[in-house]
Amino acid sequence: MDLLLKDKVILISGGAKGIGAAISKGLIEEGGIPVIIDPSSEGEEILMLANGKGLHIPIRLEQPEDAKKAVELTIEKFGSIHGIVNNAGANDGVGLENGSPEAFAKSVSKNLQHYYDLVHFSVPFLKKSKGSIVNISSKTAITGQGGTSGYVAAKGAQLALTREWAVELLPYQIRVNAVIPAEVMTPLYEKWLSSFPDPDSKLQEISNRIPLGKRMTTPEEIASTVLFLISEKSAHTTGQHIYVDGGYTHLDRAL
């Protein structure tokens, strides 16, 4: 299916690794133009796949000025923005007992603030293109996980903002949706697995709880849904929370 993404300029935060990298590569395959906002050098390698038809902005979105700079650089180079994929973030394990009010506030800000910032500075350009926004959230916002209050608070807020922005941006025909992964094999996930005495056994234990196929979701499967939602092929879909998780969140795991 041609998603009609050719020459569409899409900002992708955290677009150099894991789910973000799969989205960037998938966009390139569709003929789109990725703007990879990620401090990792892998962003340059991904752009090689596009023969340079894209932009790598090697910054971490820590302050509003960072998001503003990313938008300015994009407009300077391409003159337009057709979509945003808010993806960057990390489960930092700041919980009730193993955290502090200060650590909680920092965790929420680190995982949430740049979602708002990037959209805020892009709205004038999204109005012109009638663009689309996809927020990457997490099943932890629905199921809870324990020991990670900051991350889960941010992920829940991302889902709330998806509906809020879908309403606010309706007059401009800007669509806003969220994708909710569960267990996806990414570099961060691999790092977490390696913290267990027997990573392979832990991976098998987790995979056995995923109803569809007893396997992890791939980054490419997340990317396919994101690219559909960012494209005009989903032109009448907005304010939705889409689960791409092999049934993990809602189906009986005894299956």
Catalytic sites, residue numbers: 151
CB-based contacts of 126, cutoff 8 Å, min separation 6: 81, 82, 83, 84, 119, 133, 169, 172, 174
Helix, strand counts (H, E) of the chain: 9, 7
Q: 244 with 181: CB under 8 angstroms?
A: yes
Q: 243 with 222: CB under 8 angstroms?
A: no
CB-based contacts of 253, cutoff 8 Å, min separation 6: 209, 210, 211
CA–CA distance, 185 with 189 (Å, rounded to integer): 6
CA angle 74-224-21, nearest 5°? Answer: 50
Q: Ramachandran region of residue 52, left (φ > 0), alpha (ψ -120 to 50) or beta?
A: left
CA–CA distance, 215 with 108 (Å, rounded to integer): 30
CB-based contacts of 94, cutoff 8 Å, min separation 6: 103, 104, 106, 107, 148, 149, 150, 151
CA–CA distance, 137 with 148 (Å, rounded to integer): 14
